[in-house]
Structure 1
Amino acid sequence: MTGAAAAAARYAGTRVPRVEDPRLLTGHGTYVDDVTRPGMLHACFVRSPLARARILGVDAAEALAADGVHAVFTAADLNPDVREQWYTLIGKDVPDTPRPPLAEGEVRFVGDPVAMVVATDRYVAEDAAELVAVDYEPLPPVVDYAAAGESAELVHDGYPGNVAGEFPGAPFEDVEPVFAEAPVVVRRTIRQQACSQVPIETRGIVAEWSAPSGELTIWAATQSPHEVRLFCSRLLGLPEQRVRVVMRDTGGGFGQKVIPQREDMCVMLAARKVPGPLKWIEDRRENLQSAGMARHAHGDVRIALDDGGAILAAAIDYVEDVGAYPVPWPVGTSAAVGMFFPGPYRVPKAAWATASVFSNTSGRTAYRGPWQFESLARELLLDSAARKMGLDPAELRRRNLLRRDELPYTNPCGVPYDGITPLETFEQALKMLDYEAFRREQELARAEGRYIGVGTCTYVEPTSAAMALHATEGATIRIEPSGKVNVYVSGGSSGNSIETTVVQLTADALGVDIADVSTVQGDTAVTPFGGGAAGSRSGSMTAGAVAETASVLRERIVAIAAHRLEADPGDIELDGGRARVRGVPESGVTLAEIANAAYFQPETLPPDVPAGLEASGRYRPEHPLIYANATHLCTCEVDVVTGAVKLLRYIVSEDCGPMINPNVVEGQIAGGVVQGIGNALCEHLAYDAEGNPVATTFMDYLLPTAAEIPDIEYGHVETPSPGPGGYKGVGEGGAIGAPPAVANAVADALAPFGAEITSLPLTPETIVALVRGADGTVTR
């Protein structure tokens, strides 16, 4: 850094209380549903009750006659107004799948929006939606994605075999000789159920059109306000500067709110057609029915080992359900499943292929670690292999996990790893448990008729993906005349605590007290362009943006201070909002005095130093992917009569590099772990054979509660990344590691019954069936 050396971090690495908490915990957050505008109207969608049907006609006359109804829009009203429809996140040239704002000609899942009613309030709009008569001609739905290739029916014309896209990956013929000759081969078909992200705040948007200025202002529940702005400008054919997106607080997203979906498009398109601002807030039934699903997939997976347990080859043939209208294009993410299947293990050869298949169900959307099937399949397979070979699963992993001294390492699918610690986190997790003591306890428990088990998952995950929207990140820092600091980033409060971490990083970078730093986020009118919260990118990308920008200001501050103190710039140090000469503590000038000179006394500044203390910078990572890794370890007790699973301990050993704020890191891990536990044990976005969703309330879509979650114990290994500050992402890992760790713990508990777990969720009914065996008898 030019001028004075950077001061040692005082805040980064410490458990600074979240700056968001006073606002959020006292009920003073501002969510989309809190936005009220003069003359505001409300939208409600008429949704299909059928999984697949031809739309013969829509009669809105009775609805339009109802008091308070302003309009009823159908596909004929909105769809022709679409100019361009593509996401910056993945780019213009990706062969994306169909996505009309309103269903046109045919409905393709239960909940498909057919019409949008606009009225004076939500109650009137909902009542009027019931009055819209839609004439349907039922058609045979494609409900089972696994059989969609053989179906005579097509979800979308132009997609033979209902295939949205495929990746051939690495050819299977290259590994067949290895599997043919290997002493040990284990092969399974692993299946994962459909899940929902279930953010505590459902989706929502307010759009206000100003005809005189030709400007559209949007308040959105989003993870990426700048993506919403860019998408809207293309959708409507408006110049970007005529669209403003404001994101205040967002009550979770987990991938569901990264990019606009079809209902958002409808509100954007209708905003110029109604006499006032237009609000749509999704209810919980709509969210579970129409906001998208994730995870639903299966894979034919194989692993070959030698007599000593060394992995010789691995292969996965992966097929995923993408529903009717996936958001965004799902094929790229499916490729990650194949590429990361070898995981953090020493695997000489691998083969993979993936396919994304349409069905007449809710569309696939992003969800924390959207490629996580690779870890589920691999880790279940490793435990099966250990049981087959008579090895402890921990010992089998020890023989194959990558060590620090083997890095950098490129897996057989071409993915380069560095800066990860698979074996080290694994050993730390085992030590935290006292693994050998648990095995002794397990023996005694089985002798007493109690069935306890332990399971692990070790994975490596990519963070800071530098694709399209995510390629760079900007920051603007303004030191006010008072010496207080404002830092502007795209960000926004969606549960990832980016407000707190940005304030910490800025305070350290400028040598000021953290109480003197505030942050402005989520408003595209004033914040620099950025990718928002997605892909575990926020920590490292924002750290880079703050560092780039702060270095410019720091150099300017040091130059002004050195000039005033008649010292060499190299002797100036910044601390506590004051610049002083090193070794002369009584000397110094406050940041407020420096700012006053910069703004109001430019004639006193040294030559070549511009007036003012405001700068903008943009970070472009040298490394497009930064890898984090972790080991999850779970112990449980299974009641073999009722099928109930009680989690006893849950341990996470994580390497996300140096931690900006350990509280934030552990909070992110905990949130992901709880979601992963739910995915493993209870959550299921199920459909019946006719394509009807059967889990559209929390009576049917079961979520884990505090009663089911044990205390989560944390271990940290800190290996710096090649990025700014050595930071890595941590937002998705919890949801990746938890399902296989829990499933392996249950399988280990049920090992005396010869049970093999190949599908989720592990409901009590499923577990009882595993214990009793196919013929209904106990297989003890």
Structure 2
Amino acid sequence: MSEIATVTERFVGTRMSRIEDPRLLTGAGRYVDDIVRPGMGHAHFVRSPLPRARIRSIDTTGALALAGVRAVYTAADLNSEVHEARLPLDPPGPALPRPPLADDEVRFVGDPVVLIVADDRYIAEDAGELVFVDYEPLPPVVDYTAATDSEHLVHAGYPGNLAGQLSGRPAADLQPIFDAAAHVVRQRIFQQAYAPVPMETRGLIAEWAAAEQEMTVWASTQSPHGVRGFCARLLGIAEHRVRVIARDTGGGFGQKVAPQREDMCVMLAARKLGGALKWIEDRQESLMSAGMARHEHGDARMAFDTDGRILAADLRYVQNVGAYPASSPMTAGAVVGMLFPGPYRVPAATFDTRLVFSNTVGRVAYRGPWQFESVAREVLLDTAARQIGLDPAELRRRNMIRREDLPMTNPSGMPLADITPYETFEQALAMLDYDAFRGEQARARTAGRYLGVGTCTYLEPTTGGTPFHSTEGATIRIEPSGAVNVYVSGGSCGNSLETTVVQLTADALGVDAAQVHTIQGDTAVTPFGGGTGGSRSGSMTAGAVAVTAQILRDRILAIAAHRFGVPVEDVEFAGGRATVPGVPDTALTLAEIAEIAYYQPGSLPPGVTPGLEASGRHQVAAPMIWANATHLCTCEVDIDTGRVTLLRYIVSEDVGPMINPNVVEGQVFGGTVQGIGGALYEHLAYDDTGNPVTTTFMDYLLPTTTETPVIELGHIETPSPGPGGYKGVGEGGAIGATPAVINAVADALAPFGVEISRLPLSPAAIVDLIDNARNKATSS
């Protein structure tokens, strides 16, 4: 048996240009809205204008009478057609409520009530104006922080509006530690709701072939096979009768991991119509109905000894899941509590997690869905440093996990290994020249300028995690011409899986990257895979490609050795050619070997099957693979206007060996900008009566290149126990950026005694913080 490790890496680790870019940058990408099917209908949803109301009646006669309208569906038409609405990541037991259309009651502004199908989108929207719904307004539960005490229930059968609850060890166990500690620091912090906001909104085409009883779905999704399984369960048909095709996807960020209620409606309606039905979400719908994330708060506390070393940590965490969470939020909610100790030596810790329904849009997955653990911990540590009288960097140094501490298990039972938090922390400080900045900061304050520096160091669990994500498959077919086609599940949403797969396969087989092509996102031809999520793609795909390529390399070497008349161990295969070192005139190209394999089966060595095609599957060996990073941000705050100007932004990360540094750095850049947006700009806001007030980009603010500084990167590379040593990089930037920016602003405003407890840090919010701090100081 040959060893793939002996193949010289020629492409992995290089800054190879992205294969996707020429297509995408020249406008040749193919998205859901580019697909046109014969006789295709177009869908439009009539949505609730009220956050909570009883549906008394629905009059659709005017809409049905409009020329070009093909059908109008209400809950009575579609909801009873549901066979099973369980999502891939739902835990065992009853699933949370998930009706296609609102039935007896609407539960948030934007709740889909009626589905209209027409010849085109314009007619469908006109018909929507002719639907009359008689609503009886009901008191909404808007403030999730008061939902558990409300007399009103978002869903019957969920007392106290609790969607779920999970706790660690009893808090009373830790109370003696807090009682005896030299320092106890407490902080409550709220994080606002914001949205994934992909460039491409949600979209779906479902086409039912009545004769074959088969469904074909074109979807903007991160998980084609997840959509396939869901559609089969929804319709009550065998999986082989469902084909899902995902071509180019303009971003997902977690929002497109799981099918949502509108997707259910389109699938069900397509079967009733017996043809093709397209739904493309507009931007207002997206900001109103596609889902929110991050709406949560926590009461965090830590106990410290006289030297500032952590003795215990506790987090009381509450999360708003809205009216209809897109999938079970319990996993991410539990991870928030379990990860709260982070990259620090914490002898004892506990947590309590509560998930709460409200009459707002449902929660969806979002890049680093457990991110609040870092917000709560890192903001608390800066507050602790100020109270104890230490520099925040020094406090972290005294508590941060070092290599000699590993492997270890954190107090919540999570095994930690192969991480470098201390190394990334020190690298980031050195890149800034931290001491020099502190001197600059002091000089600036004497001149009336307020500079600040903030950091966040975090650990990120990647790969595995759930049964749905625990394996990944690949099929490699070497064609008779010698071309190499690699079939993987896909779910690429801007994370460059095409380029990644080509690089991995070229090195694993020992061929030129130009010979390799990849086919992804079509469940009819690709092996099952979990798709994009949880920073899993690099490690899992590497494993699947390596297992499969090994099968083919063994076959290639056996055929070449048989033709050369030498032992297999004497043959080398690299650069797409088999040779015997030291023996002139012995060479076979991959095309020549493929010709033997396909067209000359009689000349194959004993035991070697004809053809060059193989399938393999990688299974995670470790329960999780850890990545880690430190984010460091400096800023200047104008205390009169509240404007925050980011000066420098530094990220030191350890994602293991980089398959393609361009791709890795692009992922860090993208996630970091999203985290900056969460700290300073983005807010999916509701008024007190439950009406969304940020349903356009005039109101929902996103960071642009104008507000974003150059992001400086440092790399620490330590291998993981997974294939190739790769760890995962997708989520991290969005986890580390928000607390780093918060801490930088808080550090700038430290002379005023400001404590930050609520996001986003808009100019008005910062001015209020300063005014309140001044008033408090004056009154005392």
Question: Partner of 2:617 in structure 1?
Answer: 618
2:719 equivalent in structure 1: 720
Separation in structure 1 between the aligned mates of residue 533 and residue 4 of structure 2, nearest angstrom: 35
Q: What one-letter code is carried by the residue in structure 2 that aligns with 1:333? A: A
Within-5 A mapping of 1:137-176 = 137-176=136-175
Map of 1:283-298 to 2, 5 A cutoff?
283-298=282-297
Query: Cα distance, 1:775 vs. partner?
Result: 6.6
Query: What does residue 23 of structure 2 align with?
Result: 23
CA distance in 1, matches of 2:190, 2:591: 61
- Whole-angstrom CA distance in 2 between matches of 1:228 and 1:148: 33
Q: How does 1:206-605 map to 2 (within 5 A)?
A: 206-584=205-583, 586-605=585-604
- Deviations along 1:271-307, one digit per CA (max 9) or x if unpaired, are 0122531000000000000000000001010011011
- 1:2 positional shift: 3.0
Give per-residue Cα distances to partners, 1:410-435, cap 9 Å, x unaligned.
11111110000010000000011111
Distance in 2, Cα, partners of 1:369 & 1:545: 24
1:669 maps to: 668
Deviation at 1:168, TM superposition (A): 1.9
Q: How does 1:31-46 map to 2 (within 5 A)?
A: 31-46=31-46
- SS where residue 422 of structure 2 aligns? helix
Structure 2 unmatched ranges of 5 or more: none
Residue 15 of structure 1 and its aligned partner are, at CA, apart by 0.5
Q: What CA distance in whole angstroms lies between the structure 2 residues aligned with 1:199 and 1:531?
A: 20
Match of 1:64 in 2: 64
Alignment of 1:95-134 (within 5 A): 95-134=94-133
| Counterpart for residue 201 of structure 2 | 202
SS of residue matched to 1:391: coil
* Residue of structure 1 equivalent to 2:8: 8
5 Å matches for 1:694-709? 694-709=693-708
Distance apart, 1:348 and its partner CA: 0.3
8 Å CA contact retained: 2:167, 2:350: no
Which has the larger displacement, 475-484 or 490-499?
Answer: 490-499
Three-state SS of the structure 2 residue aligned to 1:548 is helix
How far off is 1:94 after superposition?
3.7
* Deviations 1:507-539 (CA, angstroms, capped at 9, x unpaired): 001110001100000000000000000111100
- Secondary structure of the structure 2 residue equivalent to 1:773: helix
What's the CA shift string for 1:366-414, capped at 9, x where partnerless?
0001011000000000000000111110000000000111100111111
For 1:737 and 1:671, locate their aligned partners in 2 and report how far apart those are by CA, in whole Å.
Answer: 12
CA distance in 1, matches of 2:81, 2:204: 19
1:771 to partner: Cα distance = 1.4
| CA deviation map 1:188-210 (0-9, x unaligned) | 11110001000000000001111
Which moves more between the two structures, 324-333 or 136-145?
324-333
How far does residue 759 in structure 1 lie from its aligned partner after superposition?
A: 1.5
Output the CA distance in 1 between the equivalents of 2:5 and 2:606: 22
Matched to 1:351, the amino acid is T
Q: 1:446 to 1:149 in 2, by over 3 A?
A: same
Task: Report deviation, 1:48.
Answer: 0.1
1:468 Cα deviation (Å)?
A: 2.4
How far apart are the structure 2 equivalents of 1:473 and 1:197? 26
Instruction: Provide the secondary structure at the position in 2 that maps to 1:28.
Output: coil
Seen in structure 2, the aligned counterparts of structure 1 residues 568 and 60 have a Cα distance that, compared at 3 Å, is same
Question: Distance in 2 between the 1:562 and 1:335 partners?
Answer: 55
Note the C-alpha offset of 1:776: 5.2
CA 1:551/1:127 → structure 2, altered by over 3 Å: closer, same or farther? Answer: same
Does structure 2 retain, via aligned residues, the 8 Å contact 1:51–1:110? yes
Deviation at 1:778, TM superposition (A): 8.7
> Per the alignment, in what secondary structure is the counterpart of residue 170 of structure 1?
coil
Quickly say closer, same or farther: Cα 1:584–1:716, change in 2 above 3 A: farther
The within-5 A match list for 1:747-762 is 747-762=746-761
Is the partner of 2:595 in helix, strand or coil? helix
SS of 1:640's partner is coil
Change (3 A) 1:102 1:82: same
Instruction: Tell me the C-alpha RMSD between the 2 structures.
Output: 1.2
Amino acid aligned to 2:626: Y
CA distance in 2, matches of 1:507, 1:573: 15
Change over 3 Å in CA distance of 1:338–1:95 after alignment to 2: farther
Q: Residue 405 and residue 589 in structure 1: after superposition, are their counterparts in 2 closer, same or farther (change >3 A)?
A: same
Aligned counterparts of 2:220 and 2:734: Cα–Cα separation in 1: 22
Q: Matched residue of 1:304: which SS?
A: strand
Please say if residues 196 and 685 of structure 1, whose CA atoms lie closer than 8 Å, have aligned partners that are also in contact.
yes
Q: 1:568 to 1:102 in 2, by over 3 A?
A: same
The separation in 2 between residues aligned to 1:746 and 1:377, in whole angstroms, is 15
Contact 1:466 1:472 in 2 (8 A): no
Q: Secondary structure at the match of 1:300?
A: strand
- 1:694-713, CA deviations, whole angstroms, 9 ceiling, x for partnerless residues? 00000110000000000111
Structure 2 CA distance, aligned partners of 1:186 and 1:776? 23
Amino acid of the structure 1 residue aligned with 2:22: P
Q: Is the Cα–Cα contact under 8 Å of residues 683 and 761 in structure 1 kept in the other structure?
A: yes
Structure 1 residues 242, 763: closer, same or farther in 2, change over 3 A? same
1:246-273 residue CA offsets vs partner (Å, 9 max, x unmatched): 0001100000000100000000000012
Alpha-carbon displacement from aligned partner over 1:27-80 (angstroms, at most 9, x marks no partner):
101000000011110000000000000000110000000010011100000000
Counterpart residue identity of residue 758, structure 1: S
SS where residue 168 of structure 2 aligns? strand
| TM-superposed deviation, 1:777 | 8.2
Structure 2 contact 164–330 (Cα < 8 Å) conserved: yes
In the other structure, the counterpart of 1:86 is 86
TM-score, normalised to structure 1, is 0.99
Quickly say closer, same or farther: Cα 1:5–1:608, change in 2 above 3 A: farther
Structure 2 Cα separation of the partners of residues 492 and 686 of structure 1: 30
Residue 608 of structure 2: aligned partner:
609
Aligned partner letter, 1:734: G
Deviation, 1:768, is: 0.6
Conserved? CA contact 1:4–1:571, under 8 Å = no
- Could you tell me how far 1:773 is from its partner in structure 2? 1.7
The secondary structure found in structure 2 opposite 1:713 is strand
Whether the aligned pair in 1 keeps the contact of 2:464 and 2:620 (CA below 8 Å) is no
Residue 655 of structure 2 aligns with which residue? 656
Is 1:771–1:778's contact at 8 Å kept on the other side of the alignment?
no
Q: Distance in 1 between matches of 2:382 and 2:94?
A: 38
Q: Report the Cα distance in structure 2 between the residues aligned to 1:169 and 1:312, rounded to whole angstroms.
A: 17
SS of the residue aligned with 1:527?
Answer: coil
**What TM-score do you get using the length of structure 2 for normalisation?**
0.99
Q: Find the aligned partners of 1:90 and 1:650 in 2 and give their Cα distance.
A: 38
Letter in 1 for 2:39: G
Q: CA distance change for structure 1 residues 396 and 246 in 2, over 3 Å: closer, same or farther? A: same
2:48–2:111: 8 Å Cα contact kept in structure 1?
Answer: yes
Identity among equivalent positions (%) equals: 69
Q: Equivalent residue of 2:46, what SS?
A: strand
8 Å contact kept, 1:117–1:125: yes
Aligned letter for 1:65?
Answer: A
Aligned to 1:52: 52
Tell me which stretches of 4 or more aligned residues in structure 1 moved more than 4 Å.
Answer: 774-780
Q: How does 1:684-699 map to 2 (within 5 A)?
A: 684-699=683-698
**Which whole-Å CA distance do the structure 2 matches of 1:677 and 1:36 have between them?**
38
Q: Residue type of the partner of 1:40?
A: M
Letter in 1 for 2:158: Y
Task: Using the TM superposition, give the Cα deviation of residue 570 of structure 1 relative to its aligned residue in structure 2, in angstroms.
Answer: 1.4
Structure 2 residue 172 is matched with structure 1 residue 181: no
Structure 2 counterpart of 1:613, which letter?
L
